[in-house]
Amino acid sequence: MVTIYDIAVKAKVSPSTVSKVINDYPSIPEETKAKVNRVMKQMNYIPDAGAKALSKGSSYNIGVLAYFGTNISTFRHALFTEILDSFQQEVNSRNYDLLFVSKNLTGRDGTFYQNCVSRSVAGALLFGDFEDEEMKEVIDSNIPKVAFDYMGDKMTGVYSDNYQKMKKMTKHLLDLGHRKIVFIHGEDSDITKYRVQGFKDAIAEAGIPFSDRMLLETLYTDADSVKNITMNLLRRANPPTAIMYPDDYSAMAGISTIREAGLRCPDDISVTGFDGLPIGQTFSPALTTVKQDTDAIGRLLAQKLIENMDDKENAHPELCEVRATFLPGSSTGPVKSII
C-alpha cells in the first residue's frame, strides 16, 4: 500500500510537506502542491480521511440530523430530499461529504450530539423537530450548524416567506368567492405561527369574521389524521367550500377523502397544499400550492454552514428568508354549488 513516505521519496519532499499538501495548507507553494498532487495521482494514492480529520481537529464530514417524529421516515419526505440534494451538491464542491447521524454510537445507544462528537463532524445540518431534547443538545453545542425552517436565535436558519405566501393563497380563495374556508395547519412551530397569521390577516382584510372553527391542527404529512379531520369537516351541518392543508401530501390525502365521500374537487370543495412538490403537479387535479425554492434553500444552507465552519470565531446566527412561488392549480375554482 502506498504511503505518504513513498510519495515524499518520489516527489523529493519531506513527509510533513506531503501531509500539508493533503490538508491544503496555504503556506505550501503552489508549485510544490502541483508536484506532490501529480505524484499522488501517478501512484494512485488515496489520502486517509481519518488521518486528515486528526490533523485538522475535525473531519470533512457534515452531519445531517433529521428528526420529524418517531412515525415519519426522513427519506420519504420529498421536501427534505430535494433540499438535501441541492445542499449536497454545494458542499461536495468544497470537498465535504455528508454523514447521516443516528443514535447508534459504536454499536450502542447514544445521542445525536454524542454521535457528532465521536465522528468529529465539521458541522451539522438540522431538519425537523427543534424542540426534541436531543436536537436541543446539538443546537446548544459549539458545533457549527444551520437548520431549515428554524427561526430562533441559537443558530442560522433558512426558511421561506411563509406569511406572505399563505396570505396570498388565502386571498386567491377569497377572490374565487369562498367564504367558508378552513385551514388545517401543522403542529405548533414558528413557521406554523407565521402561516396561521397570514391566513388570519387575509380573512380579516376581506371583512370576514374569524371563527376558531376555521382553524384545525394536525401533524405535517400525517395522511391518516388528515383523512379523519376531512371526514369530520364534510359531516358539518355547514361544511367548508375550501380546505387549506399544511403540505402537498396532506392535500392529496384530503382530495382522496373528498372523492370517497362522493364529492368533487374543485367543483364542490377547493383544496390547497403547501411546498410545491413535483408529485402535486402531476396529481389530478394539479394542486394549488406554494412552491418552496428547494434549490436556493439547499445552496444557502450549505453556504452559511461553510462560512460558519471556516470562521468559527466570528460566526453568528442569521435568519435568511428565501422567496417561494405561489402556484395556482386546478384544485381550486369558484364557488359553484352549496353542499
Residues 134-170: pLDDT tens digits?
A: 899 999 999 999 999 999 999 999 999 999 999 999 9
Dist CA 208 CA 108 (whole Å): 57
* CATH number at 1-38: 1.10.260.40
| pLDDT bucket at 70, cuts 50 / 70 / 90 | low
What the block records as the C-alpha cell of 329 is: 392549480
User: What pLDDT is attached to residue 118?
Assistant: 77
Residues 272-306: pLDDT tens digits?
A: 999 999 999 999 999 999 999 999 999 999 999 99
Domain-wise residue ranges, the chain: 1-38, 61-159+295-322, 162-292
User: What pLDDT is attached to residue 26?
Assistant: 80
Angle 146-150-155 from CA coordinates, rounded to 5°: 40
* Residue 232 to residues 225, 265, 274, 337, Cα–Cα distance (Å): 11, 17, 22, 20
| pLDDT bucket at 312, cuts 50 / 70 / 90 | confident
The sign one gets for the Cα dihedral 162, 164, 167, 171 is negative
Dist CA 311 CA 314 (whole Å): 6
User: What pLDDT is attached to residue 338?
Assistant: 47
What the block records as the C-alpha cell of 218 is: 394536525
| pLDDT bucket at 22, cuts 50 / 70 / 90 | confident
336 or 165: which leads in pLDDT? 165
Q: Averaged over 80-97, what is the pLDDT?
A: 93
Q: Which of 35-39, 62-66, 101-105, 165-169 is predicted least confidently?
A: 101-105
User: What pLDDT is attached to residue 240?
Assistant: 97
| pLDDT bucket at 106, cuts 50 / 70 / 90 | very low
User: What pLDDT is attached to residue 54?
Assistant: 46
Question: Quick check: 49 pLDDT over 70?
Answer: no
CB contact set of 219 (below 8 Å; sequence gap of 6+): 69, 186, 187, 225
Dist CA 137 CA 150 (whole Å): 15
| pLDDT bucket at 315, cuts 50 / 70 / 90 | confident
Question: Quick check: 25 pLDDT over 90?
Answer: no
Q: If you average pLDDT over every residue of the chain, what do you get? A: 89
User: What pLDDT is attached to residue 69?
Assistant: 66
Provide φ and ψ at 108, rounded to 5°: -135, 165
Cα-Cα-Cα-Cα torsion 101, 103, 107, 113, nearest 10 degrees, comes to: 70
Which CATH class, in words, describes the domain spanning 162-292?
Answer: alpha beta
Question: Quick check: 174 pLDDT over 90?
Answer: yes
Architecture of the domain defined by 61-159+295-322? 3-Layer(aba) Sandwich (3.40)
Residues 194-239: pLDDT tens digits?
A: 999 999 999 999 999 999 999 999 988 889 999 999 999 999 999 9
In Å, how far from its chain's centre is CA 332? 27
Same fold for the pair 1-38 and 61-159+295-322:
no
Q: Averaged over 22-47, what is the pLDDT?
A: 86
